Amino acid sequence: MPVPRPTADSAGGSRVLQQRAERVMPGGVNSPVRAFKAVGGDPIFVRAAHGAILETVEGEQLTDYVLSWGPLLLGHDHPAVRSAIREALARGTSYGFSHPAEVELAELVAEMVPSVEMVRLVNSGTEATMAAVRLARAATGRDLILKFDGGYHGHADSFLVAAGSGVATLGLPDSPGVPADLARLTLVCPFNDAGAVRSTFERHPSRIAAVIVEPYLGNAGFIPPHPEFLPELRRLTGAHGALLIFDEVMTGFRVDPGGAQALAGVRPDLTTLGKVIGGGLPVGAYGGRRDLMQMIAPAGKVYQAGTLSGNPLAIAAGLATLRTARAEQVFDVVDQRTRMLVEGLRSAARSLDLPFWAGSAGSMWGFFFHPGPISNFAEAKASDTELFRRFHRAARERGVLLAPSPFEAAFVSAAHDGPIIAQTVERLADALAAARRR
């Protein structure tokens, strides 16, 4: 099937829009990675999206593996989600009061996610992680938190901290505007390095409130945990009186219907969720042990609130997504198709003798131009980012849209059927060959 190209008359569409945007929006975007700085070329402006296909304002038809950065488990504009939003819209856009659907979504999350006994719905993943850390500090009476190099937990001040040299170090601000005194409350270790975590606990006895971890790194590229890593985090936090927070904003309902915790058999104290839970609309959540969640106001004294939390349109989209995925056995199907895609890419890279490492879990996947294995962010940063840049451009020329960064995970949806996966493997194999030649 030919890949539609922009016409000469429409080629300036995205450029003109970007120029207009840059006059009224920082960098012309509302989230930095949309600016395509890592891969060059013009940012994408979208006209519409349906199923597995995203259409740009120039008329490009792109098979989408970004999927709004993860939420669209069923694909774009799924009929069940669209219908649920329309039905909710007929009853109003926002109430500012409780409604039945938010109770139903909380019940469904508690049923599906092993460690979650109670849930608080919020509006974003960032909001969820902020609240979870506040709760952990209140529950333990401690101030320090420990995160991992390359782990992204939203843009709150406490999380915008990069690792220094050595196995574990006090953080330094990774963004202007983050006070150094606040950054010093965040410790950083390499992902998959349980020894560094152990040493950090020994250096800071009775001071660490929580360890927060993406069970699979997704904003450093796709990096899976070693089999013993998550169980050891559970043991260490328990031994030192700290809480374990799984940030499953990305992995929740992606790597397994019960999240990465179900896949690993590890129960964290608190879990944060987002993306899929909103079916493409803004929803986040945090939940966990009943005794901890009962500390949240108004049941307890830890304050957290949100005017639009539990928004009826967003809750309708999330409920429709999760219910449809369960009813139609979507989780098993997308898992199989994701593995087919990743194996096809591995085979193509082997035939071209390219340094290439790829992996997947459920419908979440990723790759690096690196011989592998990749265990942490430092190894990911050693990959060939210039080769990725060429590959990304070649893939788009062939009608396949990947995240415009070598350090972002990719996703498959229920709309990516067998023929689409086969077509993608063929096109990306050709893109690999083209990137190698340039």
Residue type, position 175, single letter: S
Q: Could you confirm whether 286 is annotated as catalytic? A: no
Distance CA 212, CA 219 (A): 14
Distance CA 379, CA 190 (A): 10
- From residue 204, give the alpha-carbon distance in Å to each of 141, 144, 310, 340: 14, 9, 38, 45
Distance CA 66, CA 401 (A): 7
- Which one of 193, 247, 269, 335 is the catalytic residue? 247
Query: Is beta strand 46-50 parallel, antiparallel or unpaired with respect to 186-189?
Result: unpaired
CA dihedral sign of residues 122, 280, 156, 142: positive
Phi-psi region of 370 (alpha: psi -120 to 50; beta: other; left: phi over 0): beta
Distance CA 359, CA 217 (A): 12
Q: Give the chain's count of helices (H) and strands (E).
A: 14, 17
Q: Could you confirm whether 95 is annotated as catalytic? A: no
Measured in Å, how far apart are the chain's first and last C-alpha atoms?
A: 25
| Dihedrals phi, psi of 360, to nearest 5 degrees | -155, 160
Distance CA 43, CA 401 (A): 12
- Which one of 269, 275, 286, 335 is the catalytic residue? 275
Contact 55, 64 (CB under 8 A): no
- Which one of 152, 193, 216, 286 is the catalytic residue? 152
Closest-CA residue to 435 (of 366, 362, 349): 349
Q: Could you confirm whether 152 is annotated as catalytic? A: yes
Residue type, position 432, single letter: L
Active site residues: 152, 247, 275
